């Protein structure tokens, strides 16, 4: 596997998809298999539900998750009780879900498993950080939920793979443009280290940043309303920090400023960007600048040229079109398996 060494080096990886049925599970299975071949100990969980044999929405077959002997996994009690292989329970987590408590276990033999782990980003972050401290684990793997990039936040995992597929769009140009948008947000420049240290523990509200790097509190809690954004910019010196969601309204308001070329927006990381691509790029084209406090590593893009309805894109062409838009390797996992 071309990027196995990178996954091992970073120690944690999330696999996230542009949408449902984009090949995320196939990619996760491929990664698990290659790490197992390298004799690396893996811990795996999912922020959604992964490993079901049939898709609940489309009623089409889904790739199942198979755990190899020695792999650690975290899932809810209701799914754990249905397994058909031997496993050793390591811990029962105190967090209660509608499907029961979450159980961390180690597989004692190969077996099929449905994964449904921490659905909360903070709980997931704790899982990724604590598992290697408590067990002899080389890599933590996280299966991301549909269209949610939060598991790929640098606060959760050190690296990520993006799954893109025909299920999201049958238009290759649309797929390439959306992939490029994710690539560009992931690769936003880091803020200066001195600013990162001052802002990293501020997770709510909005802050102004003076020319000298001093942090001020304008007393505005949300950046979702244009009036609030304008109020902040009137009080600040063209530089603001928004730890929450970066919305269309926020970027549009900043882009409409006469001093947009002097405007600097600081965010926690790329997963906080919920603005549309056209609004994001409009702000940057007009001279606005955006920085992030934490940065993840996008290791690769994996494509699934087949949609659940049976439509099929040309694999080589799809890989080529997307590869021209991004600066990371692009693969068709099925072709690699072949």
Strands 207-209 vs 239-242: parallel, antiparallel or unpaired: antiparallel
* Radius of gyration from C-alpha coordinates of the chain: 21
Domain positions in the chain are 4-186+296-337, 193-292
Would you say residue 193 has pLDDT above 90? yes
Would you say domain 193-292 falls under CATH 3.40.140?
A: yes
Would you say residue 122 has pLDDT above 90? no
Query: Per residue in 252-299, pLDDT tens?
Result: 999 998 899 999 999 999 999 999 999 999 999 999 999 999 999 999
Rounded to 5°, angle at Cα 131 from 127 and 135 = 160
Q: What is the DSSP letter of 151?
A: G
Query: Per residue in 162-188, pLDDT tens?
Result: 999 998 899 999 999 999 999 999 999
pLDDT at position 233 is 77
Helix axes of 172-186 and 277-285: crossing angle, nearest 10 degrees = 60
| Domain 4-186+296-337, CATH number (from 3.30.70, 1.10.260, 3.40.50, 1.20.1250) | 3.40.50
Would you say residue 115 has pLDDT above 80? yes
3-class state of residue 291 by DSSP: strand
Count helices and strands in the chain by DSSP H and E runs:
11, 16
pLDDT at position 148 is 54
Would you say residue 329 has pLDDT above 70? yes
Instruction: Judge contact between 84 and 90, C-beta under 8 A.
Output: no
The size of the chain, in residues, is 338
Q: Return mean pLDDT, the chain.
A: 88
pLDDT at position 147 is 53
Q: Any idea which of 93-97, 162-166, 305-309 has the lowest mean pLDDT? A: 93-97
Query: Per residue in 32-91, pLDDT tens?
Result: 999 999 999 999 998 866 555 545 555 555 678 999 999 999 999 999 999 999 999 999
Mean pLDDT of 97-104: 87
Q: What is the DSSP letter of 189?
A: P
Per DSSP (E only), the strands in the chain are 12-17, 42-46, 66-67, 72-76, 87-97, 100-107, 111-112, 139-143, 159-165, 207-209, 215-216, 239-242, 264-267, 289-292, 297-304, 330-332
Alpha helix stretches (DSSP H) within 82-147: 121-134
Cα distance between residue 222 and residue 52, in whole Å? 39
pTM for this predicted structure: 0.89
Q: Any idea which of 6-15, 91-100, 125-134, 325-334 has the lowest mean pLDDT? A: 91-100
> Taking Cα atoms as reference points, which of 108, 19, 38 lies closest to residue 71?
108
Query: Per residue in 204-242, pLDDT tens?
Result: 888 999 888 899 988 877 666 677 777 777 777 789 999
Cα distance between residue 147 and residue 265, in whole Å? 24
pLDDT at position 118 is 84
pLDDT band with cut points at 50, 70 and 90 for residue 310:
confident
| Residue with the larger pLDDT of the pair 280 and 308 | 280
| Residue with the larger pLDDT of the pair 2 and 100 | 100
Residue 163 burial by Cβ neighbours in a 10 Å radius (0-12, 13-18, 19+)? buried
- Cα 206 to chain centroid, rounded: 24
Q: Is the dihedral of CA 286, 222, 196, 183 positive or negative?
A: negative
């Amino acid at each position: 596997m071309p990027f196995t060494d990178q996954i091992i080096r970073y120690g944690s990886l999330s696999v996230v998809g542009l949408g449902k049925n984009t090949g995320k599970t196939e990619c996760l299975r491929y990664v698990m298999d290659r790490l197992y071949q390298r004799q690396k100990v893996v811990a795996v969980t999912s922020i959604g539900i992964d490993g079901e044999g049939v898709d609940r929405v489309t009623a089409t077959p889904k790739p199942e998750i198979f755990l190899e002997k020695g792999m650690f996994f975290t899932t809810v009690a209701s799914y754990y009780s249905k397994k058909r292989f031997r496993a050793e329970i390591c811990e029962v987590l105190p967090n209660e879900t509608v499907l029961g408590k979450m159980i961390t276990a180690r597989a004692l033999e190969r077996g099929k498993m449905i994964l449904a782990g921490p659905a909360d980003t903070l709980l997931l972050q704790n899982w990724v950080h604590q598992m290697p401290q408590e067990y002899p684990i080389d890599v933590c793997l996280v299966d991301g939920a549909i269209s949610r990039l939060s598991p790929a936040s640098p606060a959760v995992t050190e690296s990520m793979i993006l799954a893109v597929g025909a299920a999201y769009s049958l238009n290759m140009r649309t797929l390439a443009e959306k992939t490029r948008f994710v690539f560009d947000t992931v690769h936003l420049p880091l803020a200066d280290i001195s600013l990162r240290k001052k802002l990293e523990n501020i997770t709510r509200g909005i802050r102004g940043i003076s020319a000298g790097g001093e942090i001020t509190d304008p007393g505005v809690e949300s950046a979702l309303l244009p009036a609030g954004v304008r109020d902040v910019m009137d009080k600040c010196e063209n530089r603001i920090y928004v730890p929450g969601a970066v919305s269309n309204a926020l970027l549009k308001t900043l882009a409409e400023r006469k001093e947009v070329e002097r405007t600097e927006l600081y965010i926690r990381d790329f997963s906080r960007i919920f603005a549309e691509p056209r609004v994001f790029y409009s702000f940057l084209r007009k001279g606005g600048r955006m920085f992030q406090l934490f940065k993840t590593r996008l290791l690769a893009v994996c494509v699934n040229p087949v949609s659940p309805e049976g439509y099929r894109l040309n694999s080589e062409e799809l890989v080529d079109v997307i590869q021209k838009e991004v600066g990371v390797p692009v693969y068709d996992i099925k072709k690699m398996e072949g």
